[in-house]
Amino acid sequence: MTGGKLREITEEAKSFAIGNKALAALFVHTPAGELQRQIRSWLAESFDFLSVSGNDASGGSTGQLELLSTAIMDGWMAGLGAALPPHTDALGQLLFEYSKRVYTSQLQHLKVPLMLELLRMTSKAYLTDS
């Protein structure tokens, strides 16, 4: 595996990741070591010449699996961190949408008690003014 080929793979992975909120969600919810293990497993299953059975010390197929999975992860991280004007990067967009959902959910929970309190205050003011 040449350095030029690894850079090409990293750039392709970066292009794939830019603005990819589904990939951002995967990154947020999967530990990095587990994600890299899954990538290595997929590579080994998808490309017979990278079988994990060739575990030689001279950087055989296991070394290539490690290099490829690292290149993919590096590209994904670079792409997920790339801003998309006028918005932020994919991770920032995901965080924004998540916080908006949490805020809306919390607001729904507050509406009922808030309405009851406003009703209580209004009726108390109405009764004292009469």
* pLDDT tens digit sequence for 53-110: 444 444 555 688 888 999 999 999 888 888 777 667 777 777 778 777 777 777 666 6
Q: Omega of the bond prior to 85 within 30 degrees of 0, cis?
A: no
| HSE-up (13 A, CA, CB side) for residue 77 | 9
To the question of pTM greater than 0.85 for the whole model, the response is no
Is there a contact between 72 and 32 (Cβ–Cβ < 8 Å)? Answer: no
Tell me what pLDDT residue 10 has: 92
